Amino acid sequence: MKNDREYTVKALAQLAGVSSRTLRYYDRIGLLHPARTSASGYRLYGAAEVDRLQQILFYRELELPLAQIRAILSSPDFDRRAALDRHLTALESRRARLDRLIETARATLAADKEGVPMTDKEKFEGFKQEQLARNEAAYGEEVRQRWGDEAMDASNRRFAGLSQKQYDAMQALAEEILSRLDAAVAAGADPAGEEGRAIARLHREWLGYTWPSYSAPAHLGLVQMYVADERFTAYYDARRPGCAAFLRDAVTALLQG
């Protein structure tokens, strides 16, 4: 049955459990526009906008950045039913991850209270699984389309097998890359220069934590995707616009120069 009902900003905000300010912000950034404006000046949302807002809120539950959500929903290939299937899978996976984290917390509490031995690996396994699932939700579909399920699954297995020391080193290296990218772009550095090449080498080292084997063509393809796909650009450009493009150019200069 066709739904012709329309909602004002206030009515839709109340229906969805968000603030009117949030809806106005979504309109301003091009994420969710009203269907029309009434003669009296009210912004009105129809059935299509209600469905789009539901999708937005599903993606927000998965902690995707707004820029990434906008890119996904604006893609000509976006399939609402397929997206709902993925949301259901992701939410069920989140429930399973929360169950693992609850068990980790219980085991840690038991270790403190009763002296039950707990290995260092057991202390952090739940957190690593949580990050794996977030990466899959945010980037898995694109990576699997480009390089196949086997490559993504092998990378996930390698990540899951990291020791806590290796995991901490990987996180520290990622932070160093982001900080140096920010500084390089702010200073107007040449991506093909000494600092750009140094950052590119750090990025290659960082990939080694999750890639079973290094491939220069795959590295080039990856950094090109950082710029071509807004979902990836949003991560590297979060501190300063231009960081994703700088990294692409730096890696290209290192590998092709």
Helix spans in the chain (H)? 9-16, 20-28, 47-61, 66-74, 80-114, 120-135, 141-147, 149-160, 164-186, 194-207, 216-228, 230-236, 243-256
Ramachandran quadrant class, 189 (left: phi over 0; alpha: psi -120 to 50; beta: rest): beta
Q: Distance (Å, rounded) from C-alpha 27 to C-alpha 214?
A: 43
Q: What is the pLDDT of residue 21?
A: 93
Query: Among 136, 161, 186, which residue terminates a domain?
Result: 161
Query: Do 47 and 7 meet the contact criterion of CB atoms below 8 Å apart?
Result: no
Q: What is the pLDDT of residue 164?
A: 75
Residue 109 has pLDDT above 90, yes or no: no
Q: Tell me, yes or no, whether 177 and 250 share the same domain.
A: yes
Q: What is the pLDDT of residue 33?
A: 96
Q: What is the pLDDT of residues 50-73, one digit of tens each?
A: 999 999 998 888 777 888 888 888
Q: What is the pLDDT of residues 130-181, one digit of tens each?
A: 666 666 665 666 667 766 777 777 777 887 778 878 888 998 999 999 999 9
Q: What is the pLDDT of residue 51?
A: 92
Residue 158 burial (CB < 10 Å; 0-12/13-18/19+)?
A: middle
Three-state DSSP class for residue 224: helix
Is residue 70 in some structural domain?
A: no
Is residue 69 in some structural domain?
A: no
Q: What is the pLDDT of residue 100?
A: 72
Q: 120 falls in which pLDDT band (50, 70, 90)?
A: low
Q: 119 falls in which pLDDT band (50, 70, 90)?
A: low
Q: Tell me, yes or no, whether 157 and 169 share the same domain.
A: no
Is residue 4 in some structural domain?
A: no
Q: What is the pLDDT of residue 239?
A: 83
Q: What is the pLDDT of residues 177-221, one digit of tens each?
A: 999 999 999 999 999 999 999 999 999 999 999 888 899 999 999
Q: What is the pLDDT of residue 121?
A: 57
Q: Which range of residues forms the domain containing residue 32?
A: 9-61
- Read off the pLDDT of each residue in 100-122 and give the average, rounded to a whole number: 69
Query: Among 17, 36, 61, which residue terminates a domain?
Result: 61
Q: Can you say how many angstroms the Cα of residue 91 is from the centroid of all Cα atoms in its chain?
A: 15
The listed range with the strongest mean pLDDT (23-27, 117-121, 156-160) is 23-27
How many domains does the chain contain in total? 3
pTM of structure: 0.52
Q: Can you say how many angstroms the Cα of residue 161 is from the centroid of all Cα atoms in its chain?
A: 21
Q: Tell me, yes or no, whether 57 and 87 share the same domain.
A: no
Q: What percentage of the chain has pLDDT greater than the value 70? A: 86
Q: Tell me, yes or no, whether 167 and 117 share the same domain.
A: no
Q: Tell me, yes or no, whether 133 and 209 share the same domain.
A: no
Q: Tell me, yes or no, whether 173 and 156 share the same domain.
A: no
Query: Do 8 and 18 meet the contact criterion of CB atoms below 8 Å apart?
Result: no
Query: Among 61, 89, 104, which residue terminates a domain?
Result: 61
Mean pLDDT computed over every residue of the chain: 84
Q: Tell me, yes or no, whether 154 and 171 share the same domain.
A: no
Domain CATH number, residue 23: 1.10.1660.10
